[in-house]
Structures are given as structure tokens and as C-alpha cells.
Structure 1
Amino acid sequence: MNLSRWKLAALFIVFTNCAQAQKLDRTKVHEILAPVPSLLKQHYVNRTLATQYSDAISKIIQSGAYDKITNEDSLAKAVTRDLKIITKDGHVYVQVLKNETEEDTNWEVAEQKREQVTNYGFTKVEIMDMRVGYMKIVEFMNSKTAMPTAVAAMKMLETTDTLIIDLRGNGGGYPGVMEYIMNHYYEGEPILLSTTVFSDTALQPKTNYSSDLVYGKLRINTPLYILVNNRTASAAEYFTYTLQQAGKAVVVGEQTAGAAHMNDLYELPYKFRMSISTGMPVNAITKTNWELTGITPNVIVDEKMAEERALELINKAKH
């Protein structure tokens, strides 16, 4: 059964112990992992690499590398570690679950707690000297709950001359809020931003266009600086890459994580499941994306110096 989650996934990989953890043996380990190579081969979005990755994890499984693991969490972590080495893809992993209802409830509770603790992802919004607006976004939360905060943040900063959006440590999240902020930098007819292609050939490619959905002032001519580091990933990278390649933003900081893919979840025996990258965004300008390579900033500096360097650039541009 394919448990599909359609969003630009944040790189949170949470391993949960079963309510009554079962002890594994060699037979159960093989039952759990038997579908892994075929699932990877069938569903991984890069079809030229799918067989290679499938063969690699199959060899490790057949070697008996996991046979002596008796703890569920340890098995999930060990297989995930090897999948990361093989694919270098942050959206490919194995996890063990509680029962479905409990897991879903825990996931929702955890997300609600993050929303409350982080002000729906917007941990800092301020107007600095030189009429510079600053916005720190630690995660792109669900637009159903976070959109009012996003609208208020952009409204607060709409009279500033320059905007800094700090995405250092932002692992991604949902697309809605991210796209809303991006819309402030486009006007007129919708512009094709990207096309997502899928490993499932029955699915039509999904196009993503700019939108005039903005509750406030457009920022077309407002200089934009985006701060990033090696933990900036997924939806945060989509935001950064799209605006950088369109010439609408100066990116300052470190090379980003390189997690462009979108994932689906597949059931494995004994309440395990596997995440596999099944969707790949293709930028309308570059005809590629940032998977594995990450985004190279326009100005490369240590993440701790990114804000200071951006302010120096802004000050220089004003004088």
C-alpha cells in the first residue's frame, strides 16, 4: 500500500518505538527488508539510478549485515544509514511506527507544538536600521494554520526598502506559505516556475506557476537577500533556488543541503515503512534542480557571518 504524502518534505526523520516493541530475529529482519530493493527499483524518481541503488541495498541485505539486529529502532537507523550512503538522498529512509492512529495523532500533536513554539515558523520579524526588513523562518508550516502569520509578517515589512529572509536551518515543510511569500516577487500573468515529474508514468507532470494571491504590497523592485546554510533544505531550497535563478534574490551563506526530491511512503511488514523519492521538480529556467549539489550562494560565507555580510552588501548598495 502506498501511503502518499504530497508536500515538499521537511527533513525531519523521526524514529518512533512501537508501544510494545517486539524483539526481532533473523527471519523477521528478512521479512521486513525483503521488499526494500524492489520498492526502490520500482518507485525511485531517477530511473537511471533506481536499479543501481536497488542492487546496492540488496547486496547489503543478502550479506547478513542486519541479521543480528534485534531492536526495531536500531534496524531502521542501520538501513537508513546505508540508504543515505548509497543514494545521498535525504528523502530515502526506513522508519518503524506505532499503530497508525497513534502515529498520526503523535505527528499532529508534534506539528501543533512546533507551530506554537515557533510562531508558525516565523520566529523573528523586525525592521532594522537602513529600513531593512528581517524575517527568520525556521520551517514552512501548514498554510491552513500558518497563513495569517505569513500575511501579517509580510504586511509588517511592506514599507521597508530591502528584505532579508533568513532560512538558515530551515529544513522545508509545506509549500503554501513558501509560495505565498514568493508571489510578492512576481506580477502580471502567471509565470511557469517549475514542473514536477514523477516516477509513476501514470501521473501527469505537475506545473507550478506564480500567482497574484498577495494580501498586501508587491515587492517586485525590493532587493531581497536570502540567508542559507547546509541545513537549508527541501521547500526552503525550492524558494531560494527559484528566486535566485530568476535574478530576484542574492543568496548569502553556505552551500545548501541538496534535497530537491519529493517523497511517498510505502508499508513494510511489522509496522515498518519506507520513504522513497518519487517526484522531482525541474526549474523552468535552468531545466534542472539542486538535488545532491545543493544551492551555491551568490556570496559564500560562514553561516555565522551571513547576516552581517548581507547587511554590508545592503549598506554598500545604498551608498
Structure 2
Amino acid sequence: MTTLTKLQPAPVIDETTRLLTEHYVFPETAEQLADLLHRRLAEGAYDVDDAEELARLVTADLQSVNGDRHLRLRHHADPVPPKQGAANLAAIRRDFDTSLGGAPRVELLDGGVAVVELAPMLFPLEWAAEPLSAALTLASHAQALIVDLRANRGGDPDTVAFVCSYLLDERTHLNTMYWRADERTEQSWSLPHVPGTRFGGTKPLYVLTSDSTFSAAEELAYDLQQLGRAVVVGERSRGGAHPCEGWTVHPHLEATVPIGRAVNPASGTNWEGTGVQPDVPCAAADSLSRAHALALARLEG
């Protein structure tokens, strides 16, 4: 059990609130949260001996004002590297190495319908371009495609654009990010060229979601849905549209703070708090068979 023997809760709260006020994409909410955390600290709410328990308590308070699920105090069993973002990067590298680069399943179902599962993350593009290109190229000659995001918890917006590029015919505006740091906007577009072969923008495409689908995986589903390119099948996703950064605030604790927000060019908004609403709602466990049946019916029609 990890203890706070060398670092009491107060310095953790002080550093977390400093990061909030300096970086959180919603400055007014950041001030509210900083006041809340300091009040809770003064009340003794964080007087615990266990870093994991402190992380749970602080995360609940951080998410209590506007429900931002990217806003967290994360516990790490192993000591957290001090460099910004290093803790998260080390963890996702382990996941990358044990998931075939984030494309653990490519399968051809009856009727020429392919399934490509992207999980557990959309990894950084410098890692993931090769395995994703291989998986999507392999599926490119299928008559219809099902992209399974049910177990995908997020990742890199550049990787979202990379995957979308295989599923569209032309360079397309996918999303716009607003960044608090310099109050600028940055557009995300699909690529004019891809390694390998595109599935293209006309054949039937289905995207599977669950209530665990999160963050960049939600963006992938949402972008394709808003473009009218894909039919989303399954459950409403978790609802996190804010890219975040992580900072070490204790040897076993990392504060993750959203530093931007997404604005979809078609809807003018995003999926924050609401999740991606499926076009065909059903239990996540049933969504693959449901999408397969829909694809077969469309191909036969």
C-alpha cells in the first residue's frame, strides 16, 4: 500500500490547484475547483494515509462541478517519472507492446464484412501508423467494414485523423481544437495520401461503441457519424471531449488537466458530457452481430 509518509496531502492539493488555474481549458471552473479543493482540505476530507485513496477522493471532487471525466488525480502503483506526461506515456507504451500496436483483431465475417478492432487505445501516431496501416489495408478490400471501438479508452487526435483517412475518399475537415494556452484554434483534417490502401468513402461502414468508449475513440466515432460516413451501433459512449496533459504532483500521483476542447465543424459542438449517441442503440455485447446483420442487409439490398 502506498503511503504519504514523505508528502502530506496539502502540497498535493496546492500543486493540483496551481495546475488547474494555469492550464484548465475553463478558467472560471478552475477557480471554483481550486476553492473547493482547498475548502475540502481545510475540512480534513483529505486526511488519509493512502495515495490511492487520496486520488479517489480528489478525483470525485474535481469531477463534481462540471463532470469532466478527463479531470483526475491518477494513482500509479509504480513511482511516477517527474517529467510532464512521462507516467502516462510509460503506461501506454506497455499497452502498445501487448496489443499488436492497437489493432488486436482483423477478421473477415460471412458476406465479405470485415471487422477491425482498435483497442485499447489510439496510440501516438509515430508508434501506431505501421500497425494501423497494415490492419486497415488488410480490410480495405472487404465489401463492408465494422470498426470496433468498444474497448478503446482514447488516445491521439492525430491517430484519429489517420484512421479516418482510410475511410474517406477526399481530404476532409474532421474537427477543430481550441487550446487555452495561446487561445488558438487548430483544425484536424484527413490526409490526402495514406500508406497502403483505403477502404474508401462509399462502402458500408459501421462503428461499435460501448459505455467505456472514451475520448479520442469517441472523436473517431463522432467525426464519422457527423460526416454521415458511418452508422454508430451500440451504447452511448462515456462523454470526454477535452484533450489533457499530465503532471506529477507526488511520487505516485499524476494530475491530468484538460488543456483544450473539441469543436466539430458539422455540429458546432462536441460529445463532452453527452457521449456519442448511437444511431442504432443496443447492448455493447450485441452490437457486433447487429452491425453484421445491418451490413449484410445493405449489401443484399
Q: TM-score, normalised by structure 2?
A: 0.87
Identical pairs, percent: 27
Q: Which residue of 1 aligns with 2:46?
A: 66
The answer to whether the Cα contact below 8 Å between 1:23 and 1:71 also exists between their aligned partners in 2 is no
More displaced stretch, 245-254 vs 112-121? 112-121
Distance change >3 Å, CA 279–CA 102, structure 1 → 2: closer
More displaced stretch, 103-112 vs 279-288? 103-112
Q: Tell me how far 1:243 sits from its aligned partner.
A: 0.5
Equivalent of residue 181 in structure 1, options 142, 149, 163: 163
Q: What is the DSSP-based 3-state SS (H/G/I as helix, E as strand, rest coil) of the residue aligned with 1:86?
A: coil
Equivalent of residue 117 in structure 2, options 127, 136, 154: 136
Q: What is the DSSP-based 3-state SS (H/G/I as helix, E as strand, rest coil) of the residue aligned with 1:265?
A: strand
Q: Which residue of 2 aligns with 1:170?
A: 152
* Counterpart Cα distance in 1 of 2:262 and 2:58: 26
The answer to whether the Cα contact below 8 Å between 2:161 and 2:189 also exists between their aligned partners in 1 is no
Q: Tell me how far 1:147 sits from its aligned partner.
A: 1.8
Task: Give, as a single letter, the amino acid of the residue that structure 2 aligns with 1:147.
Answer: A
1:48-80: CA deviations, max 9, x gaps?
A: 53333333333322222113x122332222212
Q: Tell me how far 1:115 sits from its aligned partner.
A: 2.4
Distance change >3 Å, CA 35–CA 146, structure 1 → 2: closer
Q: Tell me how far 1:96 sits from its aligned partner.
A: 5.5
* Counterpart Cα distance in 2 of 1:59 and 1:265: 24
Q: Which residue of 1 aligns with 2:73?
A: 94
Is residue 138 of structure 2 the alignment partner of residue 159 of structure 1?
A: no
Is residue 270 of structure 2 the alignment partner of residue 289 of structure 1?
A: yes
The answer to whether the Cα contact below 8 Å between 1:229 and 1:253 also exists between their aligned partners in 2 is yes
* Counterpart Cα distance in 1 of 2:93 and 2:6: 33
The answer to whether the Cα contact below 8 Å between 2:88 and 2:246 also exists between their aligned partners in 1 is no
The gaps in structure 2 that reach 5 residues or longer are none
Number of residue-to-residue matches in the alignment: 296
* Counterpart Cα distance in 1 of 2:142 and 2:191: 22
1:130-172: CA deviations, max 9, x gaps?
A: 1101111112123223222211112211111110001002001
Distance change >3 Å, CA 96–CA 176, structure 1 → 2: same
1:158-204: CA deviations, max 9, x gaps?
A: 1111100010020012234432220123334x43222111222x252
Is residue 258 of structure 2 the alignment partner of residue 268 of structure 1?
A: no
* Counterpart Cα distance in 1 of 2:175 and 2:86: 33
Q: CA RMSD in A?
A: 2.7
Is residue 276 of structure 2 the alignment partner of residue 312 of structure 1?
A: no
Q: Which residue of 2 aligns with 1:206?
A: 186
Is residue 236 of structure 2 the alignment partner of residue 251 of structure 1?
A: no
The answer to whether the Cα contact below 8 Å between 1:170 and 1:231 also exists between their aligned partners in 2 is yes
Q: TM-score, normalised by structure 1?
A: 0.83
Q: Tell me how far 1:248 sits from its aligned partner.
A: 0.2
The answer to whether the Cα contact below 8 Å between 1:234 and 1:260 also exists between their aligned partners in 2 is yes
Runs of 4+ aligned residues of structure 1 deviating over 6 Å after TM superposition are: 101-106
More displaced stretch, 95-104 vs 125-134? 95-104
